[in-house]
Structure 1
Amino acid sequence: MKMKVAVRIRPAVNPENRICISTDKSTVSIFNRENIAENITYEFPTLFDVNSLQKDVYTDLIQPEIKHILEGQNVSIFAYGGTGSGKTHTILGSPSDPGIISRLIQDLLDAFHCQMDHSYKLTLSYLELYNEKIRDLINDKNEDLAIRQDVHQNVFVPNLTEKEVESFQDFSKIFGATSEIRSSSKSKTLSHVNSSHSHGIILLKVIRSECNTSKRHISKVFLVDLASAEKYDSTGNEGTRCKEINKSLSAFIDVIAAINHGSRHIPFRNGKLTRLLQNSLSGSSHIVMIANVAPEEEHYHNTYCTLNFASEHKKFVENPTVNELATAYNIKLPKSKQKQDKSQKEKTKLITDSVLDKSKIDDLKCKLLNMKESLITQSSSKTKVSPKLQKPKVLHKTFKKDTETKFNATIKDCAASENKEKKHRAQVLQLLNSQSENDLLLLHTVGKRRAQLIIKWTQNHEPFQRIEDLLQIPELGQKYLTQFLYHNHLTDVNKENL
């Protein structure tokens, strides 16, 4: 996944208002409230000052992504910032000054006509995520939609309306009737009367079909107008409303931070927004993050937080991949099935790299001893030689020595595996008794809820003596223990039984 971060500063609404930031080429400076005499300076590879145009933002950030979309790669575009910072204007624009979505649709349709070896199909979906409820904005009868995952690990929203777009007129007809429906606060905020408190998500699907084969590739383009981070004293919203908005946004920020820090556990399921975007935030997407800030001093808190977020998360993560659709001639097994097949192949080997329990090591020792005696017996026995054939030279001592060497090496490997398992179990047990949520989240299958259950149990009872003591927690049963042991490489459990 490649993340591209840019900062855009909108012009001041009222020139008489005091300005808290200044720009110089690629740097942004904001005064320090702790010491008014000094400034805090940030540097960004892409910076759009108050004189930048919608066309500049699109040409520099979005237009280069079209080639990735046509190749079947996912692209996600986020507008991030505080209330009144210009996020919605960046994404949607106006009839006289179109935003990203209008320009992208037009360029995609133009690009389709230039492709001779492929045919393309473009569909549009538009949804709103408000208070953790998904609403279809094209068909407003579809409210509180669910999120599902298919056998190919693709996350999708059942019953979400998809409209095919064959011309820009089709797009205008579909999108124009829905762009004003998004939920806004029933009591207008102090800072921005039209401030949107929901995540607006536009989903474009580009399906590429090769003319001479049955192969198809699909790319998803998410354009997300993120809800504003709320602060009561600047917006006038009630505390409950602020908590609803900030919880969803916080889950998104946590996922971005976990990905950039290389965490083993990515909390996609902490919010519906991150769950919906899971495929596009986990290695198969290009990401464009536009951090929008307002220059007025009254927006100082949101501007300061937005600049910190943008500065912290501007890094390269991993290479994107192409999403190939399964067809009748090209069926791709789910990842879970692929892992099962791979596991079955590995089990055919005499000695594998997996951790073996003590009983299997004892059985292996017996088999190796029998094999050793059989090989020595065969090597020492006299064989009849045909008079027409020359008797081969057999070095009995060398053969016997090599056999014993291989046997001893195998025994050492088994012992090392046993010691490795004991050490690994001790480390896992230490994490279970750490009473630290961050440490527990390092373990596979342990989410936030289970971590809290484990911490609560260890606080009220004595520490776990064995990993299997997890069964003492009423909410965790035998099935979960089996999954925990398997996914943390603590036992040779057949995955088909999970």
Structure 2
Amino acid sequence: MEVVRSELTEEVSQLRRANQNAVQQAKKEVEVKTKTLTGKVTSMQQSLCQVHPLVSELLKDYSALKKEAHMFPMKLQASVRQVQREICKSISDISQTNQDLVRKYRHEMKLRKKYHNELVELKGNIRVLCRVRPVIREDGEGPSARQVVTFDQEDDGIVNCLHKGRWQTFELDRVFTQQSTQEEVFEEVRSLVVSCLDGYNICIFAYGQTGSGKTYTMEGPPSSRGINQRALGELFRIVEEGNKDWSYSITVNVIEIYNEMVRDLLGSDPTEKLDIKLHNEGGLHVPGLTYTQVDSLDDVNDVFQVAINNRATACTNMNEHSSRSHALLIVTVEGTNITTGAKIIGKLNLVDLAGSERVHKSQAAGDRLKEAQNINKSLSALGDVIHSLRSKQPHVPYRNSKLTYLLQESLGGDSKTLMVVQVAPVEKNVAETLASLNFAQRVRTVELGQATQK
């Protein structure tokens, strides 16, 4: 029993010693760890002391950035407004500069046209106007009805035509658009018409393919009269309001050239064939031609109605209302000075040519084919005369057709001559449009010499 107690006491002592050793070891480890942690804490405290100023700086920067971000939309709006003001000012300056340039350009254009017209007057060039008709029902629909004619917004003497993907530009004395009125067209020729009262020979003729608007421009419907009636109305107005020392007599003839035959549309028998003869004293005349004196617009309307009833018209596939003959309205003005007895004679020839319709395109046959062939022959002869005049050849073939023979005095000099070329604006007619415009440019270069008074 004593032995057991002794052993237990020894074991307890060992356990105490082991426990004390473990405690001491744990204490040492805790001290080491504590020391390590203390070092780390000290190091962290030192790091935090170093970071704190940076954090403070960052907070300051953040506050400043936040303030800038808050102010940015307002600054951006102010900057945008400033840029807008500067852009608007720049645009305004550019616009003003452009307006000045456009004003100067238009002024130069007017001067150029003025000087050109004066040069035309001196040289006796044939003035050429172009009128483009609107799109009409006969043009149809689809690609063939696409418009191929355009205008220059800044220059009323330029017309462009698109053919096979290429634009061709033509320069004439004046170009009238589809929106131009009969009054605007007449205003351009008014001074020319009036000069026949001063004893000049004047010729105005309309050229172009069938259906391009020649008859509309020259004659016009009752609601919108053309050059013919407006010209006579202007002559009557000037005679009534003009110099009372002069007495005027105005007579008219209306001639048709149909299948190379000259016919009097005011005569009792409009089918009678007339001849063109030379006066003994020079110049051309048509024996048997009816001269009708007109004293008012009512007289003119009566004369026109008789001529319209007698004029040969027929329907072709190309234009159901196309006229198949050349029509010439000849106005003769004879003025007598009541005091001195001096006389002046002026003549105004207003010509509505038949269309230059191609035979295969018109699908004409029989009498219509003969008409088309004769029309093409006379227009070809007109082209030959223009070519001879343009190249100043010694011989000009006026006698190759009745048309050119009758127009000899107008085309051969000592006359003021103007051509209105009529064109259609759509793709299906582009070949005829180009042909008409090319012919117009050739005509424009012809010099007839300065006109003289009779």
TM-score (norm. length: structure 2): 0.67
Q: 1: distance between equivalents of 2:360 and 2:283?
A: 41
Which amino acid in the other structure matches residue 18 of structure 1? R
Question: 1:109 deviation in Å?
Answer: 0.6
Compare 252-261 and 128-137 and name the one that shifted more. Answer: 252-261
Query: Equivalents in 2 of 1:215, 1:261: separation in Å?
Result: 39
Distance, in Å, in 1 between the alignment partners of 2:354 and 2:215 is: 10
Q: Aligned ranges for residues 52-201 of structure 1 at < 5 Å?
A: 52-60=180-188, 62-113=189-240, 114-142=242-270, 143-185=272-314, 188-201=315-328
Aligned to 2:97: none
Q: Distance in 2 between matches of 1:209 and 1:120?
A: 6
Partner of 2:378: 248
| One-letter amino acid matched to 1:12 | V
Residue aligning to 2:32: none
What 5-or-longer segments of structure 2 have no aligned partner? 1-123
Q: Which amino acid aligns with 1:221?
A: L
Task: Name the % identity.
Answer: 34
Give the deviation of 1:144 after TM superposition. 0.6
Match of 2:133 in 1: 10
Greater RCO, 1 or 2 (C-alpha within 8 Å, sep 6+): 2
Give, in whole Å, the separation in 1 of the partners of 2:148 and 2:230: 32
2:5 maps to what in 1? none
SS state of the match for residue 434, structure 2? helix
Deviations for 1:286-313, whole angstroms, at most 9, x for unmatched residues? 1110000011111112111001011122
Helix, strand or coil at the partner of 1:144: coil
* Distance in 1 separating the partners of 2:411 and 2:277: 16
Does the aligned pair in 1 maintain the 2:129–2:172 contact within 8 Å?
yes
Task: Tell me the secondary structure at the aligned position of residue 310 of structure 2.
Answer: coil
**Which residue of structure 2 lines up, in the alignment, with residue 296 of structure 1?**
426
Name the residue aligned to 2:59.
none
Aligned to 2:398: 268
CA deviation after TM superposition for structure 1 residue 278, in Å:
1.6
For the 8 Å contact 1:77–1:287, the answer to whether it is kept is yes
User: Which consecutive residues of structure 1, in runs of 5 or more, have no partner in the other structure?
Assistant: 324-498
Aligned residues of 1:120 and 1:206 also touching (Cα < 8 A)? yes
Instruction: Give me the whole-angstrom Cα distance separating, in 2, the residues matched to 1:258 and 1:205.
Output: 28
Q: In structure 2, what is the Cα distance between the partners aligned to 1:179 and 1:283?
A: 30
Tell me which residue corresponds to 1:398: none
Map 1:184-333 → 2, pairs under 5 A: 184-185=313-314, 188-238=315-365, 239-315=369-445, 316-323=447-454
- State the distance in 2 between where 1:298 and 1:126 align: 34
User: Cα deviation per residue 1:12-62 (whole Å; 9 max; x = unaligned)?
Assistant: 1148421122122332222223xx2x21111223000111011000001x2
**So what's the TM-score if we normalise by structure 1?**
0.62
Give the RMSD, CA atoms, in angstroms: 1.6
Aligned length: 317
Counterpart amino acid of 2:220?
G
- Contact kept, 8 Å, 1:2 with 1:285, in 2: the verdict is no
Q: Which residue of 2 aligns with 1:482?
A: none
Contact 2:149 2:162 in 1 (8 A): yes
Q: Distance in 1 between matches of 2:125 and 2:163?
A: 32
Residue 301 to residue 266, structure 1, CA distance change in 2 (3 Å): same
Q: Distance in 2 between matches of 1:152 and 1:2?
A: 27
SS of 2:387's equivalent?
helix
Give the Å deviation of 1:11: 0.5
d(CA) in 2 for partners of 1:267 and 1:320?
21
Deviations 1:337-389 (A, max 9, x none): xxxxxxxxxxxxxxxxxxxxxxxxxxxxxxxxxxxxxxxxxxxxxxxxxxxxx
2:158 to 27, 32, 37: 27
- Determine which structure has more spread, i.e. the larger CA radius of gyration: 2
Q: 1:244 to 1:266 in 2, by over 3 A?
A: same
* Higher share in helix: 2
Q: CA deviation at 1:140?
A: 4.3
Q: How big is each residue's C-alpha offset from its partner over 1:425-448, in whole Å with a ceiling of 9 and x where there is no partner? A: xxxxxxxxxxxxxxxxxxxxxxxx
SS of corresponding position for 1:177: helix
Partner amino acid for 1:139?
A: G
Alignment match, 2:169: 41
Q: 1:213-266 deviations in whole A, cap 9, x for unaligned?
A: 333221111111001112133211135443211011111121122222211111
Whole-angstrom distance in 1 between the partners of 2:255 and 2:449: 29
- Separation in 2, partners of 1:298, 1:216: 52
1:351 aligned partner: none
Instruction: Work out the CA distance in 2 between the residues paired with 1:256 and 1:111.
Output: 34
Question: Secondary structure of the equivalent of 1:55?
Answer: helix
Q: Distance in 2 between matches of 1:280 and 1:94?
A: 27
Match of 2:56 in 1: none
**Contact kept in structure 1, 2:148 and 2:163, CA below 8 Å:** no
Cα distance in 2, alignment partners of residues 83 and 67 from structure 1:
29
DSSP 3-state at the match of 1:184: coil
Contact 1:260/1:317 (8 A) holds in 2: no
| 2:383 alignment partner, SS class | helix
> Per the alignment, in what secondary structure is the counterpart of residue 104 of structure 1?
helix
